[in-house]
Amino acid sequence: MIRYALRCEQGHDFDGWFRSSVGFETMRDAGQVVCAQCGSTQVDRALMAPAVTEKRVPLTAPRSKAEAALEALRKKVDETSDYVGLRFAEEARAMHEGDRPSRAIHGEARPDEARKLIEDGVPIAPLPFIPRRQVN
C-alpha cells in the first residue's frame, strides 16, 4: 500500500491509500478519487516528504513542555524503581501479600492482570509511556 498526499484543483489537501502508483492513476482517471471538501475529481499527487523515521538520541532536546515532563518522569521512574518486565503482576501481588520485600517496581501487565490487581486492592497505576525494555 502507498499513501499519497493529494491536492484537488481548488487547493484542498488530503491523503489516500492505494495499492500502487498505477492503481492511483487508474482510479483518478476513472473519477474515483474525490476531494472530500469540494467533491472535485480533478485530483493529483502533492509534493511529499519521504517517510523517514527520526531516531531520537537521548541528548536530543524535547520538542514541547509535555514531552520534557514525560521524559523527566521516565527518568525518575528508571532511577527510583526496578524494571520487572512481564513479571509485574506477579511481583506486585507478592509484595502486597507480604511474600516479597516491598520496593518500587515498574513493568508490563496484560489488561486482565491489571484489572485483577486493582480489584484485589493492590495499589498500582499506569504509566503514561511504554517502559524501555531492559535486558539482563
Give the pLDDT confidence of 15-68 residue by residue, as tens digits: 888 888 898 999 999 999 998 899 999 999 987 766 666 665 555 676 788 888
Quote the pLDDT of residue 2: 86
Residue type, 46: A
Quote the pLDDT of residue 131: 72
Distance separating the N- and C-terminal Cα atoms of the chain: 39
Give phi and psi for 35, each to the nearest 5. -70, 130
What residues are paired with 18 via a beta bridge?
2
Give phi and psi for 124, each to the nearest 5. -135, 160
Overall pTM > 0.75: no
